[in-house]
Copies of this chain bind each other. A is one copy, B any other.
Amino acid sequence: MPHPQSTAGPVTVFVCMTCRHADDAAEAQPRAGARLAATLTSLEGVEVREVECLANCKRGPSVAMARPGGWSYVFGNLAPTDGAAVMEGAQLLARSADGLMPWRGRPEPLKRGLIARIPPLPGASA
């Protein structure tokens, strides 16, 4: 179905490179966050940025995503194999008419892994 808000983004996905997974050995390399990051590829309307810390260390691997004029999201307890779910969620956010990521249709890892969300700043435009 064509979506009139398909260009509402762009969304930026911030992926933490230093997150460990609870099941990983302390010195396992590459870290779970870096393994997740390696599966994320920028696509139309979604830019991926690797970052060092989202301060969600106890519940990693972690990503955050945000867009101008929209809500910002933090997700945790992800698996290194959740890259496709992350990008699918980012596209949902990019295409959202109200700046919220819809719950319906949201990939499961972004439902059970929701850590927090932040409203857009007052006066921000999409």
Contacts and interface: CB of A to CB of B under 8 A. Distances in A.
Interface of A: 12, 14, 47, 49, 51, 53-56, 62, 64, 66-68, 72, 74, 76, 114-119, 121-122, 124
Contacts of A14: 118-119
A76 B118 CA distance: 13
B55 A117 contact: yes
Task: Among A53, A76, A116, A117, find the residue whose CB has the most chain B CB atoms closer than 10 A.
Answer: A116
Given A72-B72, A74-B74, A54 B121 contact: no
A114 B56 CA distance: 8
Contacts of A56: 115-116
A66 B122 contact: no
A53 to B, nearest CB: 8
A53 B100 CA distance: 13
Given A56-B116, A115-B55, A122 B47 contact: yes
A86 to B, nearest CB: 15
B116 A67 contact: no
